[in-house]
């Protein structure tokens, strides 16, 4: 097993005691198969116990460890140190476009509010009881929305989205991809309710289709695709509502 | 939240994008290269022959559709491009580009009707 010394420049910030963020360098003996999260754990355990960051599963499932690594939004558990240029240092910062809670931990409130606004859960046509039994779904019906259900709420897409940076009211990629996921679900009839948010200016229309969200998504969800599909559906709605006003509810 | 009226321009943009991607290159190939090179026979690119083709009401409708959709596609595309370049005066840009598209839609209509 080969080992190499890598310098990590890590953003440190405690809003309660410091006026602005600063960078602190740590030299870490990294193993070949390490990811950036391993190096952070090494720092926390051996060099500086005061470093704060979120993580849990270490296997790209929980979505907790999203960070800016050399300026790119990435899951630190998926960012292998061997993939970074030899001899160079690795810069680690909290996800951009979010306020910093402390060090690499960001305040997620805005995302959580937006996620709730789009009602990301199955809204059935009429309430089912346990006696009614389970929902049946064909593999084809599952396939309709499965890709969009892979979202782990890691927020890398929000850090990548230039539109979210410019217009913080924008509902944003992940919440919209999840909206699409439930709209496409055969068990769900909640689309009219979600449309109140989706068809608003802050909904799909704030997106200018840069596509960075889909590029950085660690689960290949393709939020950009979901948003464009919802733009088409919302446009059809708009024309139907205005050309056939009697359809309006 | 109030529903946005953006579907008006976005609908034209999306339809125009499809036209610009699939139809415009074929139109350029036919009218810009194949016809002048005489692949459809000599005389096919003549003024008289062209006027005759465009004089057909069905051709007029199709041509109008292609030109107008491509214009509105370009207008909306330019609006977004301006935004991406950091021009934040969106209302002014929108008026400018859509005004251009509307003006040239009208010119296309008049030109086709006059043939």
- Asked which of A86, A106, A126 is the last residue of a domain, the reply is A106
Question: What is the extent of the structural domain holding A116?
Answer: 109-247
Residues A113 and A49 placed together within one structural domain of the fold: no
Pick the range with the lowest mean pLDDT from A36-50, A198-212, B19-33, B37-51. B37-51
How far apart CA B79 and CA B16 sit, in angstroms, is 14
Cβ pair A238:B80 closer than 8 A: no
Domain boundary among the residues A64, A91, A106 is at A106
Inter-residue long-range contacts of A23-29, CB under 8 Å, 24+ positions, other chains counted: A23/A91, A24/A48, A25/A89, A29/A3, A29/A4, A29/A5
Mean pLDDT of chain B: 92
Nearest to A224 by CA among A246, A245, A208, A240: A208
Flag if A201 and B83 touch (Cβ within 8 Å): no
CATH of domain B12-113: 1.20.1300.10
Q: Are residues A92 and A130 in the same domain?
A: no
* Backbone dihedral angles phi then psi of residue A187, each to the nearest 5 degrees: -85, -10
Contacts of A163 by beta carbon, 8 Å cutoff, 6+ apart: A170, A206, A207, A208, A210
Please identify, among A88, A106, A124, the residue that sits at the C-terminal boundary of a domain.
Answer: A106
What ipTM was estimated for this complex? Answer: 0.79
Q: Establish if A196 touches chain B: CB-CB under 8 angstroms.
A: yes
Contacts of A234 in chain B (CB under 8 A): 7
What is the largest distance, in Å, between two alpha-carbon atoms of chain B?
61
CB contact under 8 A, A208 and B11: no
pLDDT in tens, A140-169: 999 999 999 999 999 999 999 999 999 999
Q: How far is B32 from chain A (nearest CA, A)?
A: 32
A47-91 confidence digits (pLDDT tens): 999 999 999 999 999 999 999 999 999 999 999 999 999 888 999
Residues A85 and A180 in one domain: no
CATH number for position A54: 3.10.20.30
- Residues A179 and A198: their CA atoms lie apart, in Å, by 8
Q: Say if residue A86 is in the same domain as residue A117.
A: no
| Number of independent structural domains in chain A | 2
């Amino acid at each position: 097993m080969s080992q190499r010394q890598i310098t990590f420049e890590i953003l440190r910030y405690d809003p309660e005691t410091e006026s602005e963020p600063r960078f602190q360098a740590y030299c870490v003996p990294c193993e070949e198969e390490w990811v950036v999260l391993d190096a952070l754990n090494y720092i926390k355990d051996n060099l500086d116990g005061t470093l704060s960051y979120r993580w849990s599963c270490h296997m790209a499932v929980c979505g907790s460890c999203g960070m800016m690594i050399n300026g790119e939004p990435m899951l630190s558990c998926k960012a292998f140190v061997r993939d970074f240029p030899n001899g160079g240092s690795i810069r680690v910062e909290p996800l951009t476009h979010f306020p910093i809670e402390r060090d690499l931990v960001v305040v997620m409130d805005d995302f959580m509010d937006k996620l709730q606004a789009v009602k990301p859960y199955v809204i059935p046509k009429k309430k089912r009881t346990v006696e009614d039994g389970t929902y049946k779904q064909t593999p084809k019906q599952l396939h309709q929305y499965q890709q969009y259900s892979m979202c782990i709420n890691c927020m890398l897409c929000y850090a990548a989205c230039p539109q979210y940076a410019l217009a913080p009211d924008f509902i944003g990629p992940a919440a919209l991809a999840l909206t699409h996921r439930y709209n496409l679900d055969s068990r769900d009839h909640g689309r009219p309710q979600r449309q109140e948010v989706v068809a608003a200016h802050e909904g799909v229309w704030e997106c200018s289709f840069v596509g960075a969200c889909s590029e950085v998504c660690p689960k290949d969800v393709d939020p950009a695709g979901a948003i464009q599909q919802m733009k088409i559906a919302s446009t059809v709605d708009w024309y139907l509502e205005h050309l056939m006003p009697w359809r309006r509810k | 939240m109030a529903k946005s009226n953006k579907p008006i321009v976005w609908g034209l943009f999306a339809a125009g994008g499809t036209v610009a991607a699939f139809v415009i290159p074929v139109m350029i190939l036919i009218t810009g290269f194949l016809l002048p090179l005489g692949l459809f026979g000599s005389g096919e690119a003549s003024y008289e022959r062209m006027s005759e083709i465009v004089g057909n009401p069905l051709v007029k409708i199709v041509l109008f559709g292609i030109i107008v959709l491509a214009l509105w596609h370009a207008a909306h595309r330019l609006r977004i491009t301006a935004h991406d370049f950091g021009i934040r005066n969106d209302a002014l840009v929108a008026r400018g580009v859509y005004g251009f598209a509307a003006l040239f839609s009208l010119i296309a209509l008049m030109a086709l009707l006059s043939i």
